[in-house]
Amino acid sequence: MYSIKMRASERENHISGAEKIVPESGIVPVAGALIERGMHHAKGEADFINLKIEKVREEDIRYLDSLPVTTIEVADYRESYEIIARFLSDLGGKGSVKEIMELFRQTWSMRGAMLLDVDSLKRLEPDRERGIRVTYMDRERTGGQISSEKDHYMEAIVLATKVANAPGIVGEICISDDPDYVTGYVCSREKGYVRITRMKEMGSPFGGRIFLYSSGQCDVAETIEYLEKQRVIVRNVFPIQSEKDAVGNVSSGWLQPVISENAASIVQQQTPDRFAFIEEELSRLKKQHLYRKQKTICSGQSKYVEVDGKRLLMLASNSYLDLISDPRVKAYVSQIALSYGAGSGGSRLTTGNTDLHVALEEKLAAYKKCEAVIVFNTGYVPNLATISALAGEESVIFSDELNHASIIDGCRLSRAKVVKYKHNDMEDLERRIREYAPHRGLAVSDAIFSMDGDILQLPEFVEICRRYQLISMIDEAHSTGVLGETGHGIWEQYGYRCARPDIIMGTLSKSVGSEGGFVCADAGIIDYLRNKARGYIFSTSLSPVTVAASLKALEIMENDAGMFARLRENIRTFCAALQECGIHAESETAIVPILVGDEKKALQMQEKLFDAGYYISAIRYPTVAHNQARLRAAVMASHTEEELRGAAKVIVECFSDCENGFCEAI
């Protein structure tokens, strides 16, 4: 058997750790997967990964039975203190729950756990910065299955079982330091493993472990030796069961007095259920006000839409020029549908390449002032397909920390080293590039950032990429048809004063009002993508009807520069109207973010605006950071001043109502 340990850090700050005990055949796959886990973690991108592999003698392994498990569901982290208080009381220690939770603050920066004397509240770990690191442990596997996927519960029960069986240890309290995982636990040999479903707020990166030691049972050095050196494999560790059928019975009597009507509705013994994670995750999303529901539009999409029988002013659409329902587009699309039919019949490289597709690529190349263009089926795919085709394991990708999900996923798919730099901070970009130069690489950024509406510093971005021989790539999803005097995008916005980015990605589903995405570049790069971009090669091409809509919309955009002037004026009008009412709103783009903060409040305001006749979307985690929820207003060229000022007035009223508690019933 072999012990494999992985520790990942970013700028010397610990972000991830894991370990397995596997047979020789599992060394290579498990080591590779643990490295992958260390590279991609919610707490950051690792710049240092330590992997340690050592042989373990069978006679040195101690086999333990997994602790019995109960689960308590609580409404919020404050109710978890009731369970912790009873747990501490039964241990007979002198520390109160308030004192213990205050001590948790000292664990946030530690690399290991705190070892605490429950009688004196004295810390016992020899190195307070390092803490106690519990190592050499894993669960018993059957059928030769070896997995390195992250499973919070399965890994926690292994560690808890080892700790609970350590000499001198009378209990443990754990709060996960993963921002996306709020379930924690208390445990001991007597109480078993007690899962508490919410021990902190979602998004909080803070957490830690406190091992509770009772003096007089053994020497503390013996306890530490066991925790850090004893090889342990835990038997009978099963996946967590769904809690939907719980009846509220409590197997351990010490818990019963703790459970109030509000504190815990579900406590049960756990047995396997392969779908448990689905219901648990949906329940968590609903409680966190992060659950997403769809609204159904029952009309053509323009500046007014019909939803559930209500006529709403649309202030959420990406159709910034309102070309979706333009009569000229619809007439041309109808004509093409009669001639070409509904579909394309195959990929572009087989039967799906019509003269319409070729004409669209030629028109886009002229519009974006580049040699060649390749069109994809959606706006999401070009980033995935292009980034993964241009970068590989030997590459480094420099990505803005607020880039769109499609860029993030393209980076992951490439398997390149991904280095995030501070948002729109060209000094930080250059500093990070210097750390990795010289490398084959790519720097990628949104042109307009979709949630904040701010604009990339393009001249500096391109100049830095040229200086360090990096491919420069920008995502113009939200800037084509918006930026520049005639809507040609961010390069025009800067007066064509800088070199053109090597690769410009864009979409046809926003200002153009159709569907699909595209990439502009020199002819050699486009030829390379036609042969290497899997999202292009293996997808059925866009319908001729969709292509026709894009062709006609681009023709209108080329011949009506006035629509871009109207859009810019509407943006100024809307921001000014909000500012006059006391709401901070500033944007040079069609995206006007209105920061709310709290996710629940943002949802309440969205529904109140809907009732008042306005369709504005509440944007929440994970699209934006926790407690950065916002209303994302999107302005159209076709809006009138009266409509925009009316919307601003109602938004202000919604803010006032929610602050006064009038939204709570929604």
∠ CA 496-502-507, nearest 5°, is 85
- Listed residue (224, 152, 208, 218) closest to 181, CA to CA: 152
Length of the chain: 666
Q: Got the DSSP string for 92-110?
A: T-S--HHHHHHHHGGGTT-
The amino acid sitting at 296 is T
Which amino acid is it at 647?
Answer: A
Cβ 258 vs Cβ 80: under 8 Å? no
Q: Which residues 6+ apart lie within 8 Å of 349 measured at CB? A: 530, 537
Among 100, 235, 114, 206, smallest CA distance to 169 is for: 114
Assess whether 450 carries a catalytic annotation: yes
CA neighbor of 441 nearest in space, from 400, 398, 406: 398
510 is catalytic: yes
Q: Is 304 exposed, middle or buried (0-12, 13-18, 19+ CB in 10 A)?
A: middle
Distance CA 597, CA 639 (A): 27
Structure tokens at 520: 């502009």
> What region, left, alpha or beta, does residue 163 occupy, with left being phi > 0 and alpha being psi -120 to 50 degrees?
alpha
Catalytic residue (choose from 368, 510, 552, 608)? 510
Looking at 478, 488, 608, 639, which residue is catalytic?
478
Cα separation, 395 vs 33, in Å, equals 19
5 annotated active-site? no
Q: Which of 66, 204, 445, 450 is catalytic?
A: 450
In angstroms, what CA-CA distances link 156 with 18, 85, 423? 11, 21, 35
Tell me how far apart the terminal alpha carbons of the chain are, to the nearest angstrom.
Answer: 58
Look-up: residue for tokens 């091992």?
211
CA distances from 124 to 41, 118, 162, 656 (A): 31, 11, 19, 52
Instruction: Give the H/E segment covering residue 113.
Output: none
Contact yes or no for 67/161 (Cβ under 8 A) = yes
What is the identity of the amino acid at 377? Answer: N
Q: Find all residues with CB under 8 Å of 520, minimum gap 6, and list them.
A: 364, 365, 368, 370, 372, 373, 503, 504, 505, 506
The C-alpha atoms of residue 547 and residue 333 are separated, in whole angstroms, by 9
* CA separation, residue 47 to residues 7, 39, 40, 436, 494 (Å): 11, 8, 11, 11, 34
2 φ/ψ angles, rounded to the nearest 5 degrees: -135, 135
Which residues are 619's β-sheet partners? 630
Q: Could you give the 3-state DSSP secondary structure of residue 360?
A: helix
Round the CA-based radius of gyration of the chain to a whole number and report it: 29
Which residues does the annotation mark as catalytic? 450, 478, 510
